[in-house]
Amino acid sequence: MAATQRFARGDRVVHPKRPEWGTGTVRLLKATASGSDGRAQKLTIDFPNRGRVVIDTAVVSLQPGDTEAPTGRSASHPTANSSARPRPPASRVAPPLPSQDPPTVSSTSTSAGWLNDLEGATGKNELWALPDELTNPFASISERLKATLETYKYSTQPKALFEWAVRQTGLDDPLSKYNRHELEQAFPRFARDRDAHLRDMVRQIKRADGHAILKEAGKGLFPAGQSALDKAIRA
């Protein structure tokens, strides 16, 4: 049996049974005990036509994708597929979604609940869930603080809201899944949890006498991020 292929963060991959998802980009990864050769990984991948999906390589043998540099997003969050369709204007409104969360997509053409559990894409809570780079316990608190402060560039203004939804979902076109009203409703919940997360990190840093970390984090911050940091420090 061939050894399980291993991937690194930033690698481009294709799901062999879901080519319509496009070429995805590996965002996060961790080793898993599953798999006969002990080389399996659980990967968090952004697919341009599906969004963010977690896949166990012991279950799905992903294939390497194209190696072209992604385009269409900022360097801090590259697009998952440079061949994806152009981004629509933020004023576009997609048809309303059903009230319940969308069903999980199976990795095969038939029903397979255990694969759903391994590969299941998130429901609407993906909009307000804090991104992994804000909470990753394997990252330093300085890295998590920086990632958190960067999210203060987002707001409910049309362009900023659309860019926030792209980052949250991993979709090139989040309006293909959510309408504008849903994004506007989800952002305040995200902002509330992010603000609480920032305050908690700042308290941890202050208890550890990490004033140098806070000073470094404040360098070159845009106004909204600086205001949030100052408020958290005073709290």
- Judge whether residue 75 has pLDDT over 50: no
CA–CA distance, 53 with 170 (Å, rounded to integer): 9
Average pLDDT, the chain: 78
Joined tokens for residue 142: 């300085």
pLDDT of residue 121: 40
Range of lowest pLDDT (98-102, 150-154, 195-199, 212-216): 98-102
CA–CA distance, 194 with 129 (Å, rounded to integer): 9
Render pLDDT for 199-227 as a digit per residue (tens, 0 to 9): 999 999 999 999 899 999 989 899 999 99
pLDDT of residue 124: 57
Joined tokens for residue 145: 């603080």
Between 30 and 45, the more confident residue is 45
pTM above 0.75, yes or no: no
Q: Is 6 left (phi over 0), alpha (psi -120 to 50) or beta?
A: beta
Q: Is 76 left (phi over 0), alpha (psi -120 to 50) or beta?
A: alpha
pLDDT of residue 87: 43
Q: How many CB atoms lie within 10 A of CB 71?
A: 11
What average pLDDT score do residues 11-31 get?
A: 90
- Is residue 64 classed as helix, strand or coil in its secondary structure? strand
| H helix or E strand, kind and range, residue 29 | strand 24-31
